[in-house]
Amino acid sequence: MRTEKDTLGEVKLPDDVYYGAQTGRAVENFRISNLKLPRRFIRAQGVVKLAAARANGSLGLLDRKRSGAIEKAAGEVMRGMHDAHFVVDVYQAGAGTSQNMNANEIIANRAIELLGGKRGDYSLVHPNDHVNMAQSTNDTIPTSIYISALEAVREGLLPALERMKETLAEKSVEFDGIVKAGRTHLQDAVPMRLGQEFGGYASAVKNDIARISGASGSLLYLPVGGNALGTGINAKPGFRSRVIREIRKITGIRFESCENPFEGIQNVNPALQLSASLRGLSVTLIKIANDIRLLSSGPRTGFAELKLPAVQPGSSIMPGKVNPVMAEMLNMICFQVMGNDTAIAYAAQASQLELNVMMPVIAYNLLSSLDILANGINAFTEKCLWGIEADAERCKFFADTSLAIATALNPVIGYSNAAGVSKEAYMTGKSVKQVVVEKGLLKQKEADRLLDPLRLTGK
């Protein structure tokens, strides 16, 4: 064990940990969930600390040896070499002070080692004075949220959605010649092509890609350099622009300083905006997953228009049963994302005066949503959408027997007569075409032309 001190007194720590006294207190104080902020967030903290060390070094506030050690330690944090030492629970000190100090202490103690010292010898590198120089929890935590969330969107979610959209578009082409009955209110409606239905799904995903891309654009504007409130206290002139420049170099993303650092620290609205777009995506995905579950229902007693890939047995008691498990999985993910969005909305509205103190739970829920959506969409696309097959004969049967095909008779025999034909067809079990010819309302040839399901599906 080693003993470290903070402003409240002494704290005993295991010799082999890189974190220090404030983290040690947080571990004792916040034994809540055993949930930690994820890898992407820790990487983003490393990005911020590396960029700040470079900026302060270029301004002459850190000597080259100390700056170099901090930069190397921060780089190791970025690469995940010290993740085991990020031990603070998600439900922790407001604003993420414990999380920020966890990073500061790990980087400081690793930098001390690199300089030949022993952990805890903060005369060499101090967590607050050197690693946290010109920074505050209040500007580094939202900055880390935005960096990690934007990287998650660009590297994970958007590529997954693009693959899904392309797969749905390919299925739209594959199924374009298959005529089926449309359905509204879960009742028979006019004919359509299965390809048109899948084309609608592809277009819906395309629209969500655009909405998420637009919402994630607000993450480009970082409050780092505003320090505690936005005044930039204890930061040398030029620090703000330099730290942003360094973050750009490290991430390859064109981040900018937020227009008003006071607003940027008071609120976490970019995270709220992105989460709202994920909620909207979830609505779209639930609709698609539910449709696929319905259209594949059966195989004997349901719609059975689609055949899904069998990826695992569906029942522990009913032999041979196969369930739409990938669609069910996607639904559960989307329900969780909607719950996460509710937590984020409540946490975002909890901003008071100069600061939002609920940022750790915002970070955790937002990054969780991005992660499970990307993984779930990839799995659904690969193990369900790619292998979907259509039962063309089943689709044709429903298209031919749908009573709603009588809609095509409205311009010729009028709505009332068409309704009568539809009702008689239902009561007698005959087709609409058979009834309209038997009643003398149309000749056979004209009925064949007007009631051709494929013609009725448009272009």
Strand-pair partners of 181: 191
* DSSP one-letter string for 389-456: EE-HHHHHHHHHH-GGGGGGGHHHH-HHHHHHHHHHHHHHT--HHHHHHHTTSS-HHHHHHHT-TTGG
Surface-to-core class of residue 317, CB atoms within 10 Å of its CB (0-12 exposed, 13-18 middle, 19+ buried): exposed
Query: Rg for the chain (alpha carbons), in Å?
Result: 30
Helix (H) or strand (E) holding 285: helix 269-295
- In the residue annotation, 185 being an active-site residue is answered as yes
Surface-to-core class of residue 312, CB atoms within 10 Å of its CB (0-12 exposed, 13-18 middle, 19+ buried): exposed
Options 315, 368, 402, 416, the catalytic residue: 315
Residue 149's CB is within 10 A of a number of other CB atoms, namely: 26
Distance in angstroms (rounded) separating the CA atoms of residues 359 and 342 = 14
Residue 416 and residue 425 in contact, taking contact as beta carbons nearer than 8 Å? no
Phi, psi of 335 (to 5 degrees): -60, -40
Instruction: Calculate the alpha carbon distances from 182 to 144, 185, 211, 288, 400 in Å.
Output: 48, 10, 28, 15, 11
Residue 333 in tokens? 């993910």
> Which DSSP category does 191 fall into?
E
Phi, psi of 135 (to 5 degrees): -130, 170
* DSSP one-letter string for 128-180: IIIITTT--HHHHHHHHHHHHHHHHIIIIIHHHHHHHHHHHHHHHHHTTT-EE
> Which DSSP category does 385 fall into?
I
Residue 265 in tokens? 């620290």
- In the residue annotation, 368 being an active-site residue is answered as no
Residue 374 and residue 152 in contact, taking contact as beta carbons nearer than 8 Å? yes
Options 58, 126, 148, 185, the catalytic residue: 185
**What residues act catalytically?**
185, 315
